[in-house]
Amino acid sequence: MVARRLAEFRSAWLSQPANLRGALWMIGAAFGFTINNALVKALGQSGVPAFEIAFARAAVSTLAILPLLWRAGPGILATRHPGIHLVRAFAGGGAMICGFYAVTKLPLAEVTALSFTTPLFVVLLAVLLLREPVRWRRWSATLAGFLGVLIMVRPGAEAFDPAAIVALGMALGIAIATTLLKRFPEGESHVAMLFYFGLAAMLMTIAPAIATWRAPSATEGAMLVAVGVLGLASQALMIRAFRAGEATFVAPFDYSKLLLAGLIGFTLFGEVPDRWTLVGATVIVGATLYIARREARSGGATVLDEAVQSKVGRRKD
């Protein structure tokens, strides 16, 4: 009976338009990432150090990947590009650490808005690392996006929080990891990429985690495990989103994180974004959406587009 119901539900789900399924998967991923950040913030407010949270996230993720490695065999870790794996893994690990620290210090909506600067950094890295040509419209949108950052963080103002710079470090780390995906040839194992990321993050956080370790309570321990599991689950939902629908249609639904972060931040932590955060976030989101729209209209493939395809493949789900 249950199996038949599940089969009927799957059939009804797959009968829906691909872009609709992709959009719903992306909204689910946005919700998962936002809840994950809320858990990190709650742990930070209870006194659990950011490095301890990051180490737990990396350890849980790595343990979850081990069954995949066992089934595939150790040969899956073989690579002709160990240097790129190393840089990418440490960039991703550094981004995770920066993100967790920023979440514990800043309102959720502000960290989420600053995370949307990743495409702006990708444009810069595409020029510096990959020598890709960038037209004046994308340069203008990129500059506008960084102007939005200045509006939001207001360096030199009394309300300036240095944690905002750390949040930008998160976006830069993600951009580096994304850009380096283009350096990998087709066939490079995605499982290996995930494993090397988790291993690098563990190596980066184990020493400071031990130095600042505070034994978590049973509830905090469960929350630490949830951070790792929910982070992986949200990544899986994002992968399904891009497999199901067109990237240019699905990607904008990631911006639902900003609304969700504002609602959860207000409900759980009493955070109310000020007008500068709202204005800056609007400029950042507008700039990144414009960049995506220009690329879609020109038919070009950005580094970010190709990275998404490299990550998730072209199989529909």
Q: Provide the number of structural domains found in the chain.
A: 1
For the whole model, what pTM was predicted?
A: 0.81
User: How far lies 129's CA from each of 122, 146, 178, 287, in Å?
Assistant: 10, 20, 12, 22
Domain range spanning residue 46?
Answer: 21-310
User: What's the rounded Cα separation, in Å, for the pair 120 and 110?
Assistant: 17
Q: Looking at residue 300, what is its pLDDT? A: 47
Flag whether 295 is in a domain. yes
Flag whether 13 is in a domain. no
The secondary structure of the chain in percent helix, strand, coil, rounded to multiples of 5, reads 80, 0, 20
Flag whether 5 is in a domain. no
Q: Looking at residue 183, what is its pLDDT? A: 67
Flag whether 315 is in a domain. no
pLDDT in tens, 24-74: 888 999 999 999 999 999 999 999 999 999 999 999 988 888 888 888 777
Flag whether 114 is in a domain. yes
Flag whether 1 is in a domain. no
Flag whether 244 is in a domain. yes
Ranges of residues in the chain with a pLDDT under 70 are: 1, 8, 130, 156-159, 182-188, 247-248, 294-317
Q: In the chain, what is the straight-line distance between the N-terminal and C-terminal CA atoms, in Å?
A: 25
Flag whether 317 is in a domain. no
Q: Looking at residue 140, what is its pLDDT? A: 85
Q: Looking at residue 185, what is its pLDDT? A: 59
Q: Looking at residue 309, what is its pLDDT? A: 44
User: How far lies 293's CA from each of 28, 115, 140, 300, in Å?
Assistant: 23, 19, 14, 10
User: What's the rounded Cα separation, in Å, for the pair 153 and 165?
Assistant: 8
